[in-house]
Structures are given as C-alpha cells and as structure tokens.
C-alpha cells in the first residue's frame, strides 16, 4: 500500500467536497435551508467519496482488508481535522461544528464518516481488487 497515494486520494476528496460544499451553499441552502442542505450534502458527499475510492483503490494499492481499513481510517482522521479546522477558520462555534455530528440535532456527518471508513474496502470489493480476488479468478479459469 502507498501512504502518499492514500493521502493524495484524500486531497482529491477534499477538493471535490469543497467544490460540493460551495455549490451547496450557493444553490441548495437558499432552496432548502441550512440544515436540510447539510443533510442532503452528506448523501451527495458520500457518493463523491465512494466514486473517488472506486476510481483510485487500485492506484493506492491497498490489497488486504486491513490496508483498506487503514486507508479509510486515515481519511476519516484527516477529514475530521480538516472539517474542525475549516469550521473554526470560518468562525463557527464548536457547538455549530459538532452539531453536524449530532443525530439529535439532525446532523448526519457521522454516517458520512462511517461510509468514508468503509469506502476503500467497498470500492476494492466492487472492483474485485485484493489477494483473494486474484486467487479466486485463477481457480475459476482452471475449472
């Protein structure tokens, strides 16, 4: 597995999510309101993360399930640091930042982070990438 490639993939996720967040603020918030736009944003953001994981899992070369979860955990940790830092830089209170993660306040971000944790493993499974897949393909062709 390549840690630099895993970080580069996360940077691509951050760029895509930043564009997504900007468009959401400009186009969706005026139509749905802030909370509903953020809730919808978690679903769209999850699709973005899955798409990027699907495109880059072979390039990252995280073959084992353990490596795929390590990539997912790295992405989650970096994303939480990024989100909190960005929120503070934009002047949001800690309560406002944490509200995105609080289900009782309508925050769905915890679901998005959970999906991000599993995204590399899900992408690898869908793409048929990993040591068990190669072995099973060899057995299929021999049969």
State the pLDDT at residue 107: 82
State the pLDDT at residue 96: 85
State the pLDDT at residue 93: 92
**Euclidean distance between CA atoms 54 and 129, whole angstroms:** 10
In a structure prediction context, what are the per-residue pLDDT tens digits for the chain, which is 143 residues long? 899 999 999 999 999 999 999 999 999 999 999 889 989 999 999 999 999 999 999 999 999 999 999 999 999 999 999 999 999 999 999 988 888 888 888 788 899 999 999 999 999 999 998 765 544 444 444 44
Kindly tell me the number of DSSP H helices and DSSP E strands found in the chain.
7, 0
CA atoms within 13 A on the CB side of 43: 4
Q: Write the DSSP assignment of 78-112 as a string of letters.
A: HHHHHHHHHHHHTT--HHHHHHTT-GGGT--HHHH
Q: Look at the block and give the residue holding tokens 């209170």.
A: 93
State the pLDDT at residue 102: 86
What residue spans define the domains of the chain?
A: 3-142
């Amino acid at each position: 597995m390549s840690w630099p490639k895993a970080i580069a993939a996360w940077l691509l996720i951050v760029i895509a999510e930043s564009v997504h967040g900007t468009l959401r603020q400009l186009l969706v918030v005026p139509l749905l309101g802030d909370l509903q736009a953020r809730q919808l944003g978690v679903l769209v953001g999850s699709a973005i993360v899955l798409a990027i994981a699907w495109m880059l899992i072979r390039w990252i070369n995280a073959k084992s399930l353990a490596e795929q979860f390590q990539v997912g955990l790295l992405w989650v940790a970096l994303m939480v640091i990024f989100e909190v830092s960005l929120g503070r830089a934009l002047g949001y209170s800690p309560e406002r930042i944490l509200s995105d993660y609080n289900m009782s306040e309508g925050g769905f971000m915890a679901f998005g982070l959970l999906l991000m944790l599993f995204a590399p493993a899900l992408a690898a499974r869908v793409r048929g990438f990993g040591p068990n897949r190669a072995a099973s393909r060899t057995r299929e062709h021999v049969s």
